[in-house]
Amino acid sequence: MDILLQLVFSGIALGMIYAVIAFGYQLTFATSGTLNFGQGEALMLGALVGLSVVGNIHGGPYLNYWLMIPIVLIFGGLQGMFVEWIGVRPAIKIKSEFGWIMSTIALAIIFKNVAENIWGKDDLPFPSPISGTPFQVFGANVQPMQVLVVIGALLIMAAVELFNRKSIYGKAVVATSNDRDAAGLMGINTRMVITFSYALSSATAAFAGVLVAPLTLTGATMGAALGLKAFAVAIIGGLTSGMGAIVGGLILGIAETVTGFYISTGYKEVPGLLLLLLVLAIKPAGLFGKTAIKKV
């Protein structure tokens, strides 16, 4: 039972990282109906930029982790704006249904190659901002960084939701997500809203990168698998539901850790993929998603 609880706690931390990335997918889909298939690379770049900042500031890495986070958020936002400007806006302008898919995938490959040339192909350790000594919860060992990951993921998603509900700019995002054409007629610059949604999406992914990096190794290849699994989480939970991202992330994270321990690490991705296929067959809109009704 102690081992099972420890696996569940590890799965929760991993699942919340998936949830943050999936939340980013939802932000862009809501405003433009498009997805950034380079979300994993946004996470990877955020982690590597964060590692560079932490390693280059004098005074010790543990004191500067918190000062590094705003820099990573700004970098992630700028990277997201670049993706929208180069890869998504031209496709939307010519009303290409699939142009943005290939453009975001191509940019993801370019970002990965750039990262390999700047930081190398080797995985690098990321210093933890807090003590690595585990503590016990119901007999299971829990790392303090795992708790920080869960808290940080919940805080960033709550902050985005609060921004959307309370600020005038957030209300413009909500209006655009509800009906882009109507929002444009009401004087909202929907093109800028879409750009902002991409900036916010990549910023959250970059933040997820510096959250998960102290628990893993940091390198140019770390984002691909996380981005793909987070996309599965977004589909499972529903591309229109923030709660769905959290629930889907927890399901996939716990399923992976439990399967990897009790069956084999080679099969840890199988339960999540089976669940994805099952959800697509039974409820294509996702567990918490809403089926759109198109009038013709």
Helix (H, G, I), strand (E, B) or coil at 239: coil
Scan for tokens 């991202």, then name that residue.
245
- Name 140's bridge partners: 137
Tens of each residue's pLDDT in the chain, 296 residues: 678 888 899 999 999 999 999 999 999 998 888 999 999 999 999 999 999 888 744 444 455 788 899 999 999 999 999 999 999 999 888 888 788 999 999 999 999 999 999 999 889 889 888 887 888 877 778 889 999 999 999 999 999 888 888 888 888 888 888 888 888 888 888 889 999 999 999 999 999 999 999 988 899 999 988 998 999 999 999 888 888 899 999 999 999 999 988 888 888 888 888 888 898 898 888 888 766 544 44
The amino acid sitting at 36 is N
In 3D space, the residue among 48, 64, 39, 77 whose CA is nearest the CA of residue 205 turns out to be: 39
Residue 232 to residue 249: CA distance in whole angstroms: 9
The token pair that represents 35 in the structure block: 């997805």
Q: What is the pLDDT of residue 59?
A: 46
What is the structure's pLDDT at 239? 86
CA distances, 240 to each of 80, 104, 131, 174, 206 (Å): 20, 21, 37, 12, 21
Q: Is residue 35 within 8 Å of 227, Cβ to Cβ?
A: no
Report how far residue 78's alpha carbon sits from residue 200's, in angstroms, rounded to the nearest whole number.
9
